[in-house]
Structure 1
């Protein structure tokens, strides 16, 4: 059986401390990135770029995030999450500032794409979940991961209106409030300063035990061969690919899709905020249910319901109310795949290399994200519509619902053939 062990109770960090600091970090790191779609219009208009230029940079961001994830996770497993989080925070701030200063598509791809992608790999789920996996009792692990994922959702609910206010200002005549916005460029500078707040929060995830974290003494190479030789790991990666395609396509291109159909920017802002708000409940529920139900069934249900929601959305009249209902439904399903997916990885392989293995699963997610955001811009520029990409998202959701069904959740037997 899986012999991965946890730190002794006396050596563990307080669960409350881990969850508070981890949740705050994810709130900032995920919250900032969830609003990037709000910059598509103003940046492309001022710079004279096509939507594909902007979309390609964010596609590179997602790919860089995924590619750097296993390395950030391996470093966190080896040297602790604290140092990785500090480096990620500094990169995040630098990337946001350079994103605002970029005047060419290549420079924008380097800042908004490569730098921010690498920054996110060191400040989001893989690194934080590694600490949760090692420091939280297994009986509460899925729930704790749901809390952290819910924090990322709350970050979207909180940060999207904040970012819109930084760009465009806040105007509430009924309350006598009229605050001018800083503009898209200065808004990025302010967010860069905010990203530095991750550094003091990282201190709460500094693990006390720097020694070996597993009784199995499994090497990194052995862990990789075992994981990639195990069919369930590959099925999880396939499902997560679809998750990335769907959520990033919707998150980045939804504002422009609604604008093309004559809806005001405030509808798009509200829609993204609703996704974040309802995802708080969805991710928490997924983490809690993961303690009681088969996680593969939870994942299959989530992907199937996403496809159903998109089909209905595309076939009803497009009004602010239909957008809000769709956003609420998608919000419940948005990041609710995160807790059960990562909990299954920990359950199968143990926690010694959880950050690294979670990073590889997330790399698959980010390949999907790359295709979702890039194809959204590419096919829009070539067809003048997002319709093809919407229906690709539906088909992929059905595939992911089927792909998660054969996943085996029991701990892998050490020393037995990987596919046994």
Structure 2
């Protein structure tokens, strides 16, 4: 029996079958490995640890070496969904709903990222220019995911790693990172890996947190879901007392989280100005300005000399806050998106780059602000709904990475 099977296995038909099946199995294993690695890269890079951000630079190599467009789509999906894995739980917390609506929104949010990288994937480099075709295609994908409209959901962008790889290099560091990412898609990817690894190790060995501006202090709160919804006199008095307690060491500017003051009205403004009497102090705090058609998510500046809206958010959270279809259908409501307005604001001879919550997860608000050479970044958020996820940590490390890249000091204030 065994000799007979061995004899038949030498038949040309068996040899042909074996020749076809073995490469097919290897190709499937390779595809599965690429998808698995993309998931691991997404989870590690976007874990909320700032020094882990450079792991994201591996994604372009996995994408470029995908053997088919379908595998490239799966690799892109694996990376993005792993990086944004906290979204389903966050949506469930925000709407006090079950897990399924968040799961659907999570998948929908990945559409732009996956579609762009699937369409721009190429099977082989252009003739005569090994790797150049893929490199240019990847740079096009990166640019599309960094700017509106597709950049509105451009989370987990590998360019964010520039702040860890090249701290202090500014725009040159951003260009160096983009060049390295393009090389990761070419036959020179081993050289790019070695270069990134070297800069990463050097940065990790010398890493320090960004400096806090002198006289500034960010105050983190633990008010949970009540922040922004509780507008009682007692609530504001408690916050004023918290702020006044921060001035013992000579602090002149105190930053409170997004939505800290709730609805911004003349009554609230007068209450806070009275509460700051006798103090050389300016409070920057989150609030909402409402009119008959929509509302603005803002930062306000309050001192005994006056109170004003300092900044209007350029990109509120899509779906939960920014709902443009309401305006299109004449319903009204939702937060306005001031896409390219007020990238920097001036306060007491200091140029500030404000970033509220969602703006810290995407590229173009930060890069637009950096074009104006700000003195400090003020990053705030209201992350009570992210309980059980790493979303707030990812927001913070993203803001820190940009601050390090451009050597800009940073103040943060979050509510959890």
TM-score (norm 1): 0.30
Structure with greater strand percent = 2
**How does the TM-score come out when normalised to structure 2?**
0.30
Q: Of Structure 1 and Structure 2, which has the larger fraction of its residues in helix?
A: 1
